[in-house]
Amino acid sequence: MAASCLAAHAGEAISLSSLEDVEGALNRGAVVSVAVDLPACAPAGTTTAPGAARGGLRINAYRVAPDGTLSFSDEHATVDASGQPIWQFIRYQVKPDQTVAFSTDLFALPSFTRLAPRISYACAINRGIAFFAERR
């Protein structure tokens, strides 16, 4: 019974295949989700190891720069493999050429001491990063 009630309220996901589609959906107030597949992205900056993580989030806030780059981020507390608390900042920059710069920074809690160099990947829309809007 509960499952059928949830299904009745769930919206159909619509794939957004360009920066223009993503920005348009956000500007209309749509709920936009991001699916991340770092193994499909290329290491960037000082990062040399291929990505291994997959995940996702809903865009809660965003900014469009004068050059057309759409930026949004996520931050959260978690624990590392040894059980120590850490704070993770993740930044996404979707560029007009449809590429997406992904970076993450990890800090120890409560001191906010950096734990490692920035981890960066170069992705693209529908190549490592996919966007979806919920149809209501």
From first to last of its 136 residues, what are the pLDDT tens digits of the chain? Answer: 344 333 444 568 899 999 999 999 999 999 999 999 999 999 999 999 999 999 999 999 999 999 999 999 999 999 999 999 999 999 999 999 999 999 999 999 999 999 999 999 999 999 999 999 997 6
100: in domain = yes
Residue 33: both structure tokens together: 């989700």
Element (H, E) at 13: strand 12-16
Domain count, the chain: 1
118 backbone dihedrals φ, ψ, rounded to 5°: -55, 140
Give CA–CA dist 104/112, Å, rounded: 14
57: in domain = yes
60: in domain = yes
Output the pTM of the full model. 0.85
76: in domain = yes
30: in domain = yes
- pLDDT at res. 11: 65
1: in domain = no
Residues of the domain holding 60: 12-135
Q: Residue 47 in 3-state DSSP? A: coil
